[in-house]
Amino acid sequence: DGGITQSPKYLFRKEGQNVTLSCEQNLNHDAMYWYRQDPGQGLRLIYYSQIVNDFQKGDIAEGYSVSREKKESFPLTVTSAQKNPTAFYLCASSSLGYTFGSGTRLTVV
Protein backbone atom coordinates (compact mmCIF):
# COMPACT_ATOMS: atom_id res chain seq x y z
CA ASP A 1 0.00 0.00 0.00
CA GLY A 2 1.33 3.44 -0.92
CA GLY A 3 1.47 5.97 1.83
CA ILE A 4 3.42 8.28 4.05
CA THR A 5 4.76 7.14 7.40
CA GLN A 6 5.74 9.25 10.33
CA SER A 7 7.48 7.80 13.31
CA PRO A 8 7.29 7.72 16.21
CA LYS A 9 3.70 8.73 16.97
CA TYR A 10 4.66 10.13 20.38
CA LEU A 11 8.07 11.49 21.33
CA PHE A 12 9.35 12.91 24.57
CA ARG A 13 12.59 14.84 24.90
CA LYS A 14 14.33 16.87 27.53
CA GLU A 15 14.73 20.57 26.98
CA GLY A 16 17.98 21.41 25.22
CA GLN A 17 18.19 18.19 23.24
CA ASN A 18 17.91 17.96 19.48
CA VAL A 19 15.38 15.46 18.16
CA THR A 20 14.75 14.12 14.66
CA LEU A 21 11.30 13.22 13.37
CA SER A 22 11.08 10.67 10.59
CA CYS A 23 8.97 10.95 7.46
CA GLU A 24 9.03 8.31 4.71
CA GLN A 25 6.84 8.03 1.62
CA ASN A 26 6.55 5.37 -1.05
CA LEU A 27 4.21 7.36 -3.31
CA ASN A 28 7.02 8.49 -5.61
CA HIS A 29 6.07 12.09 -4.87
CA ASP A 30 8.67 14.76 -5.63
CA ALA A 31 7.46 17.32 -3.10
CA MET A 32 7.43 16.89 0.66
CA TYR A 33 6.44 19.24 3.47
CA TRP A 34 6.61 19.65 7.22
CA TYR A 35 3.82 21.42 9.09
CA ARG A 36 3.32 22.16 12.72
CA GLN A 37 -0.10 22.28 14.37
CA ASP A 38 -0.76 24.20 17.56
CA PRO A 39 -4.18 24.78 19.14
CA GLY A 40 -5.88 27.72 17.44
CA GLN A 41 -3.03 28.13 14.95
CA GLY A 42 -3.94 25.74 12.20
CA LEU A 43 -1.18 24.24 10.10
CA ARG A 44 1.95 26.28 9.69
CA LEU A 45 4.62 25.41 7.13
CA ILE A 46 8.09 24.74 8.54
CA TYR A 47 10.08 23.50 5.54
CA TYR A 48 9.34 22.05 2.15
CA SER A 49 11.26 20.27 -0.55
CA GLN A 50 10.23 20.13 -4.18
CA ILE A 51 13.02 17.84 -5.31
CA VAL A 52 15.83 15.73 -3.89
CA ASN A 53 18.79 17.68 -2.47
CA ASP A 54 16.78 20.90 -2.40
CA PHE A 55 14.56 22.44 0.26
CA GLN A 56 13.17 25.84 1.23
CA LYS A 57 12.17 27.50 4.46
CA GLY A 58 8.51 27.85 5.21
CA ASP A 59 6.86 30.40 7.45
CA ILE A 60 8.29 29.19 10.77
CA ALA A 61 11.67 27.59 9.94
CA GLU A 62 13.65 29.04 12.85
CA GLY A 63 14.93 26.34 15.17
CA TYR A 64 14.37 23.55 12.65
CA SER A 65 16.52 21.84 10.04
CA VAL A 66 15.77 19.29 7.31
CA SER A 67 17.54 17.17 4.73
CA ARG A 68 16.38 15.56 1.49
CA GLU A 69 19.05 13.08 0.49
CA LYS A 70 16.52 10.59 -0.87
CA LYS A 71 13.22 11.08 -2.62
CA GLU A 72 11.47 8.88 -0.08
CA SER A 73 12.72 10.56 3.07
CA PHE A 74 12.41 14.05 4.55
CA PRO A 75 13.51 14.04 8.21
CA LEU A 76 12.93 17.07 10.40
CA THR A 77 15.30 17.97 13.24
CA VAL A 78 13.94 20.09 16.04
CA THR A 79 16.94 21.82 17.53
CA SER A 80 17.47 23.27 20.98
CA ALA A 81 17.10 26.70 19.37
CA GLN A 82 13.38 26.13 18.82
CA LYS A 83 11.75 28.01 21.69
CA ASN A 84 8.42 26.19 21.77
CA PRO A 85 9.00 22.73 20.33
CA THR A 86 6.07 20.97 21.97
CA ALA A 87 3.53 20.52 19.17
CA PHE A 88 1.93 18.10 16.74
CA TYR A 89 4.08 17.72 13.63
CA LEU A 90 2.67 16.67 10.27
CA CYS A 91 4.56 15.54 7.21
CA ALA A 92 3.00 15.56 3.75
CA SER A 93 3.94 14.73 0.21
CA SER A 94 2.28 15.89 -2.95
CA SER A 95 1.75 15.22 -6.59
CA LEU A 96 -1.47 16.82 -7.80
CA GLY A 97 -2.70 16.74 -4.21
CA TYR A 98 -1.44 16.29 -0.68
CA THR A 99 -1.14 13.09 1.31
CA PHE A 100 -0.50 13.55 5.00
CA GLY A 101 1.15 11.27 7.48
CA SER A 102 -0.53 10.50 10.78
CA GLY A 103 1.64 12.94 12.69
CA THR A 104 4.12 12.93 15.57
CA ARG A 105 3.30 14.55 18.88
CA LEU A 106 6.50 15.93 20.36
CA THR A 107 6.57 16.86 24.02
CA VAL A 108 9.60 18.60 25.43
CA VAL A 109 9.91 18.54 29.20
Partner 1 sequence: DQQVKQNSPSLSVQEGRISILNCDYTNSMFDYFLWYKKYPAEGPTFLISISSIKDKNEDGRFTVFLNKSAKHLSLHIVPSQPGDSAVYFCAASDQGGSEKLVFGKGMKLTVNP
Count of CB atoms situated within 10 Å of the CB of 16: 8
CA–CA separation, 44 and 104 (whole Å): 15
Note whether 79 binds partner 1 by CB under 8 A.
no
Determine how β-strand 4-7 pairs with β-strand 42-51.
Answer: unpaired
Q: Taking CB under 8 A as the criterion, which residues in 20-39 touch partner 1?
A: 31, 33, 35
Could you give the string, one character per residue 80-99, with x where binding to partner 1 holds by CB under 8 A and - elsewhere? --------x-x-x-xxxxx-
CA–CA separation, 59 and 94 (whole Å): 18
Residues for the chain: how many in total? 109
- Residue in 15, 40, 54, 109 binding partner 1, rule: CB under 8 A: 40
Positions that interact with partner 1 (CB under 8 A): 6, 9, 31, 33, 35, 40-45, 48, 50, 58, 88, 90, 92, 94-98, 100-103, 105
